[in-house]
Amino acid sequence: MELLAPDTLVAVTAALVAVVAALVVGRRRRGDGTPGAAPDASPVDAPTPDVTAEVAPDVAPTPDTPTADAPTGDVAPARGLAGRLARTRAVVSGAVADLVGAGLDDAAWERLEEALLAADVGVAAATDLVAEVRREARARGARDAAAVRTVLRTALVAELSTGDRDLAHRADGTTVWLVTGVNGSGKTTTVGKLAARETAAGRRVVLAAADTFRAAAADQLGVWADRTGAELVRGAEGADPASVAYAGAEAAAAAGADLLIVDTAGRLQNRRELMDELGKVARVLAGRAGGVDETLLVLDGTVGQNAVTQAEAFTAAVGVTGLALTKLDGSSRGGIVVAVQRRLGLPVKLVGVGEDVADLLPFDPVAFVDGLLAE
């Protein structure tokens, strides 16, 4: 590829994304907003041991907890990953067909690059991928759609196959996972799905509802606790999230739990406060639970490049170890998987492809790429 100055790249991206966004059909859901630079951490405040958290095993569902018993949605599970990725697939796979139809001329390759940008793989990856696929296709004399698809498949899989995707489990004692992300990104749902998976694997799980901003947030987690047989630890509305994390660690130790999952709030109204709060939760878990084994950042797969900006703020505040990309079922921008891994150097460990309990999948590059390129 030709080297362009960063400014030029930014301008080109902005222009392309604007054009493409206007063309791409797809529902776009926006998150809370986009944080910029990272805040600095505040000093450690040890939480008081007499926390307000209580174990509440019997929480009734509330009207504003749509997650709990939401149906699978309009995509039948039988259609598999390709069905769930239909929106992004329409963008990427359609472009491959057009490419061949147009006789693989320059304009056609440009349209493939635009399609990859529309799917939000990011400028650098789109440029590199098209250059590589073009080179390979020429070298192999690939002329039909199937051959070009194969070349693109190989390039995409290679691009995505980096990093360790396994979620950490301690050999003894309680494993601790901290789940972060902006409001609405799918944290609580992801925690619930993880609880289902882990309890099904025979593990004893405690869920700590450290989003204390609204009581409904803890109720929502309570529904998942009920469904999965996990124990719920919650605090009073407005309680210090770190105190709930602390109580969660105590409850997990008392129960001899295998896993403690801490759900958090993600309000961005005051980014600095949020990041300070998360830092404090992490420090409390370091003190009371021997550390955090996995800090997952949940990103809404429908917000496109905003997810990268959000991730940069979170990774600066807490040591994120892996990403969970949600709502890929409703997104035409599933290529964001490529962009976030490239930009952040962090592995995507999980993908959310629906609201149902089974709709959280370990991220598998081959299955994902096949889903994207299926005809």
Ligand X SMILES: Nc1nc2c(ncn2[C@@H]2O[C@H](COP(=O)(O)OP(=O)(O)O)[C@@H](O)[C@H]2O)c(=O)[nH]1
Q: Which residues bind ligand X (CB under 6 A)?
A: 66-67, 70, 73, 181, 183-189, 266, 298, 326-327, 329-330, 352-355, 359
185 binds, among Mg ion, ligand X, none (CB under 5 to 8 A by kind): ligand X
For residue 289, give the nearest of 57, 47, 40, 42 by alpha carbon: 47
**Do 120 and 305 touch, CB atoms closer than 8 A?**
yes
- Residue 216 CB, nearest approach to ligand X (Å): 10
For residue 264, give the nearest of 224, 308, 295, 229 by alpha carbon: 295
- Residue 228 CB, nearest approach to ligand X (Å): 15
How far CA 159 is from CA of 309, 340, 349, in Å, comes to 21, 12, 15
Q: How far apart are CA 10 and CA 41, in angstroms?
A: 30
Q: How far apart are CA 345 and CA 235, in angstroms?
A: 35
352 binds, among ligand X, Mg ion, none (CB under 5 to 8 A by kind): ligand X
Q: Which is nearer to ligand X, 219 or 355 (CB)?
A: 355
Examine residue 34 and tell whether it contacts Mg ion (CB under 5 A): no
Q: Can you read off the two tokens belonging to residue 275?
A: 């990041």
- Residue 95 CB, nearest approach to Mg ion (Å): 36
Q: Which is nearer to ligand X, 112 or 206 (CB)?
A: 206
- Residue 182 CB, nearest approach to ligand X (Å): 7
* Residues 6+ away with beta carbon under 8 Å from 214: 237
- Residue 130 CB, nearest approach to ligand X (Å): 29
- Residue 183 CB, nearest approach to Mg ion (Å): 7
Q: Which is nearer to ligand X, 186 or 279 (CB)?
A: 186
Q: Which is nearer to ligand X, 86 or 298 (CB)?
A: 298
371 binds, among Mg ion, ligand X, none (CB under 5 to 8 A by kind): none
Torsion-angle region of 238 (φ positive above 0: left; ψ -120 to 50: alpha; else: beta): left
**Do 317 and 39 touch, CB atoms closer than 8 A?**
yes
67 binds, among ligand X, Mg ion, none (CB under 5 to 8 A by kind): ligand X
* Piece in contact with Mg ion (CB under 5 A), picked from 115-123, 163-171, 184-192, 335-343: 184-192
What residue is closest to ligand X based on CB? 352
Examine residue 188 and tell whether it contacts Mg ion (CB under 5 A): yes
Q: Can you spell out the DSSP letters for 33-53?
A: ----SPPPPPPP-PPPSS---
Q: Which is nearer to ligand X, 72 or 150 (CB)?
A: 72
Q: How far apart are CA 269 and CA 251, in angstroms?
A: 31
- Residue 208 CB, nearest approach to ligand X (Å): 14
* Piece in contact with Mg ion (CB under 5 A), picked from 17-25, 186-194, 248-256, 295-303: 186-194
**Do 335 and 323 touch, CB atoms closer than 8 A?**
no
Examine residue 302 and tell whether it contacts Mg ion (CB under 5 A): no
184 binds, among ligand X, Mg ion, none (CB under 5 to 8 A by kind): ligand X
Q: How far apart are CA 89 and CA 180, in angstroms?
A: 28
DSSP 8-state assignment for residue 296: E
Q: Which is nearer to Mg ion, 187 or 343 (CB)?
A: 187
Q: Residue 350 forms beta bridges with which residues?
A: 324, 362
**φ, ψ for residue 259 (rounded to 5)?**
-145, 135
- For residues 67, 71, 77 and 83, what is the CA-based torsion angle, rounded to 10 degrees? -70
- Residue 325 CB, nearest approach to ligand X (Å): 8
- Residue 187 CB, nearest approach to Mg ion (Å): 5
Q: Which is nearer to Mg ion, 53 or 96 (CB)?
A: 53
Examine residue 264 and tell whether it contacts Mg ion (CB under 5 A): no
The neighbour count for residue 72, using CB atoms within 10 Å, is: 16
Examine residue 67 and tell whether it contacts Mg ion (CB under 5 A): no
Q: Which is nearer to Mg ion, 159 or 263 (CB)?
A: 263
Q: Which is nearer to Mg ion, 218 or 338 (CB)?
A: 218
326 binds, among ligand X, Mg ion, none (CB under 5 to 8 A by kind): ligand X
Going along 294-338, which residue ranges are E strands? 294-300, 322-326
Q: Which residues bind Mg ion (CB under 5 A)?
A: 187-188
